Structure 1
Amino acid sequence: MALTFKYFAFGSNLLKERLLLGNPTAQYFDVARLDDYRLTFDSPQDTKTMLWAGAPATIRRCPGSSVWGVIWQLDMADSDNLDRQERRYQRRTVTVTTPDGTTHTCRTYELDGEFDISHTPSPQYKDVIVRGAKQSGLPQAYISQLEAIEDNGFQGEIQVYNQLICQLEKTTTTMTRVRSVL
């Protein structure tokens, strides 16, 4: 039996297809809430040069606030893969609570340092986060908060986004074919 760890995702890794790009052992575990944190978007550098052409999501301590996300269970074999994917972040250990009140200790990632400049995500990155929140069944009120986040209006190509959309379209086409056969 493989050794595993739990990972709390709150950004683009809410979307299963995004996480599976580099972490093939990831299995959905549950949705959960991280208390006394808020979701924010910031960066220590010019975000136009970043993977998503905008500011990445991160968490920041904020008493009374909460961040919803997904708990994924991964084999330890994917630990280094996830660390590489989240290379701009610092690994953290957090305790999250599932809707039934159960708590779980999970790995998550937080950008190191506070930055004076406020940044916004690209529309493509925001879209992946919102799709992941919907796919995972996060609370509708939280999804509405995500949808209301201002984006930077970037209209260029983002390779990882295009790859994900292509993967989602293939999955939808396959599911449609299976349904029509049944």
Structure 2
Amino acid sequence: MQAVYFAYGSNLLASRMRGRVPSAEPRGPARLAGHRLTTDKRGRDGTGKANLRPGPGECVWGLVWSLDAGDWERLDAIETDYRRVAVDLVGSGGERIRAETYLSDRLTDDPALDPEYKRCLVDGARAHGLPDDWVRLLEALPEQAA
């Protein structure tokens, strides 16, 4: 049985996602309405990580992945401090997609991203054809000073 996962953070990058969940196959871009992207999830390294917050009139672009349903346990173990929730998406062709994604209540006051983590977001978004405006938004996210 296949499961449907919506990635909006570092799992946008195919090499990262497939390294974590070998059964994962990209299905294409999609958007989640009524939410905004933040980087306020506190990572284990103290840096900010991608997160979702309610945002009326806003949307978050990401990538829909198919994966073996049995791989949720593996992904849940990797995505610690996030909780998995069901979401309704709109695909790039206008189709409705039911998926699961992750969000977190473990927050940081310093949302700066590790530069390598940020590259995963930007490179993954570009590789999968997310809108140019979205890629520019990702490029503008705060980054830790070297």
TM-score (norm 1): 0.76
- What stretches of structure 2 of length at least 5 have no aligned partner? none
RMSD: 1.5
Q: Which has the higher helix share?
A: 1
Deviation digits for residues 126-160 of structure 1 (CA, Å, limit 9, x no counterpart) = 1111000011110011101111112112x4xxxxx
- What stretches of structure 1 of length at least 5 have no aligned partner? 156-182
Q: Look up the SS of the partner of 1:42 in the other structure.
A: strand
Q: Residues 1-182 of structure 1 correspond to what in structure 2 (within 5 A)?
A: 3-44=1-42, 49-50=44-45, 54-112=47-105, 115=107, 117-153=109-145, 155=146
CA apart distance, 1:112:
2.2
Q: Look up the SS of the partner of 1:91 in the other structure.
A: strand
TM-score (norm 2): 0.94
| Distance change >3 Å, CA 93–CA 24, structure 1 → 2 | same
CA apart distance, 1:32:
0.1
Deviation digits for residues 11-42 of structure 1 (CA, Å, limit 9, x no counterpart) = 00000111111201000111100011011011
Poorly superposed stretches of 4+, deviation over 3 Å = none
| Distance change >3 Å, CA 130–CA 116, structure 1 → 2 | closer
CA apart distance, 1:88:
1.2
CA apart distance, 1:43:
3.4
Q: Look up the SS of the partner of 2:21 in the other structure.
A: coil
Larger Rg: 1
